[in-house]
Amino acid sequence: MNYPSTDNFIKMRLKRIYSSTDAELCLEEIMELISKYKEVITPKPHVESEKDVILICYGDHLTQDGEKPLVTLKGFLDNQSQKCINSVHILPFYPYTSDDGFSVVDYTEVDRKLGTWEDIKHISQNYRLMCDAVVNHMSSKSHWFEEYLKGNDRYKDYFIDMDPSTDLTMVTRPRTSPLLTPFTAPDGTTKNIWSTFSADQVDLNYANYKVLIDVLDVLFTYVEYGATLIRLDAIAFLWKEVGSHSVHLPQTHEIIQLIREVLHQVAPEIIIITETNVPHQENVSYFGSGHDEAQMVYNFALPPLIIHSMLTGDATKMTDWAMHLELPSDKVCFFNFTASHDGVGMRPISDILSEEEVQNIVDTCRANGGLVSYRDCGDGTVKPYELNCTFKMLLTSPDKPVELRLKRMLLSQSIALAMPGVPGIYFTSLFGASNWREGAEESGVNRSINRQKFTVDELSDYLTNAVKDNFFAIYRDLIRVRTAEPCFNPYAPFRFLNLNKSLFAFEKFLEDESLFCLFNVSNDNVKINSKDLMNGSFLDIVSMKIVEGTISIPGNEFLWLKFKGEQ
């Protein structure tokens, strides 16, 4: 068979993953998928800009009697975001059995409690849509796994059955649960299934190329219903190999690059975002060359570094880290966030902060009502994996004045909004929510502490509190400022500045314009000379005041200063 150049590129990647025979068979099926979906998918061109802000939420984060949650969500976006948020990441909205959606029963269905594919499509018509590809693992109650246990040839080798005597001590573990989970098949045999994250989340076996084909089919379905951003969940663990760490393996990178290339044959506007809660240098490897892998990578080191800086009043470690931030091309950027549905990952700063500094964050989390989840290090010890706590509660003791707590929360959000890249805002952070201990206690899942859902009436009551309402209004206005400033283009050049240990600072510039972002992480007033930035006057684009000469930044406050010209 003769292959066009694009087919050759795909074939080349397949041959790095599979045998020659399987690569040929896989290529034929991929080309059939491309042909099939070209007939039903119309590309939706989009040029990334400063206007891109992504709301992260569950499909039922907001509910109202008599209305499907996805319809309620669209109403919130239309009425409350007031055109300041143009994108939405709906966390897994498929049928599931555990982990609040991340144990998927059927990739191709919408959970009936949330709504329908038509509801998803309606959202995608007005907002850029990010869909979760939870394709490292799926539910043990899924049709695929049930048929696998029954011995259905269609699903042969779709999952990984390991002899429990196999030495798997090298495997990197993100949890303390066993790596292998025993399941009894209908014929009475026991299968010990590789399950990285929990007994209900069984890992797929990409060594069988048919798994890749089925997953590509799923991803095309998401694009068909309006997704333009695909979040690859826990993708670092995709390929398994006995005798290795089974994380970041070359085959994993090849598959991500392959996914991008195949999807781009039908919809070249698709953005691939990798979610890899791992040490920073490992995380950024998913940019690839800057032209062939993820266009966005979760900036996992940012949240714990913000916390450390604000708890100590010292931005030195964050500044040192930021000084070494590099992007392999001007076609990729970071996805910047603070809070998430999981919590704050601690592995990304394992080689940035000392054990004492990490412990200080952990102790503060517990003291402020949060919880801590651990991972197995493989040597009989455990280490903090993530902090389960709302971001506001991590930053400031609950016995401090409400105004101070929300002021510090706004400072943290202003950093994420301004950082080079695209900002993502978790739903509960919009309102400065507190810990939902009741949810964690009821579910027995630490992560539930930051997964509180609201009815429309509850959210309305929540916002009637003047202070909280003021926070939401100020936050929303800050987003508007961000989306109106061209220097916040996600691909704009940047440089970080070392001005004062209490200041986290950087410059963003676009053509002949410069914007300086200064964040005082301490409680004390900090002064610098404007000449330390540039010789001239500046406009604070938040307050719209002219600043020149001595620049004063009060404790827990920030300035976004646009250079106006030389004096």
In 377-420, the DSSP E strands lie at 382-388
Nearest Cα to Cα of residue 547 among 532, 555, 559, 557: 559
Q: What angle do CA 389, 479, 336 make, to 5 degrees?
A: 50
Count Cβ atoms below 10 Å from residue 112 Cβ, excluding itself.
Answer: 9
Tokens at 356, concatenated: 């004492």
- Give the Cα separation of 256 and 246 in Å (integer): 16
Question: Which residue reads 């930021």 in tokens?
Answer: 322
* Residue type present at position 5: S
Token pair belonging to 36: 């099939």
On the 0-12 / 13-18 / 19+ scale of CB atoms within 10 A, 250 is exposed
Q: Are strands 180-184 and 54-57 parallel, antiparallel or unpaired?
A: unpaired
Biggest CA-to-CA distance, the chain: 84
Please check whether residue 353 is in contact with residue 439, taking contact to mean a CB–CB distance below 8 angstroms: no
| Three-state SS at 551 | strand
Per DSSP, 403 falls in state H
The length of the chain in residues reads: 567
Distance CA 305, CA 309 (A): 6
554 SS3 class: coil
Q: Is 150 exposed, middle or buried (0-12, 13-18, 19+ CB in 10 A)?
A: exposed
Q: Helices then strands (H, E): number in the chain?
A: 16, 25
Residues acting as catalytic residues: 233
Cα–Cα distance measured from residue 306 to residue 323, given in angstroms and rounded to the nearest whole number: 15
Query: What is the rounded CA–CA span in Å between residue 200 and residue 101?
Result: 12
Q: Give 239's DSSP letter.
A: S
Residues 6+ apart with CB under 8 A from 509: 487, 492, 493, 494, 515
What is each CA distance from 494 to 228, 305, 323, 442, in whole angstroms?
A: 26, 19, 10, 45
Rounded to whole angstroms, what are the CA distances from 157 to 49, 214, 454? 43, 13, 42
- Determine the Cα–Cα distance for residues 510 and 182; give it in Å rounded to an integer: 56
The amino acid sitting at 78 is D
511 contact partners, CB below 8 Å, separation of at least 6: none
Q: Over the Cα atoms of the chain, what is R_g?
A: 24
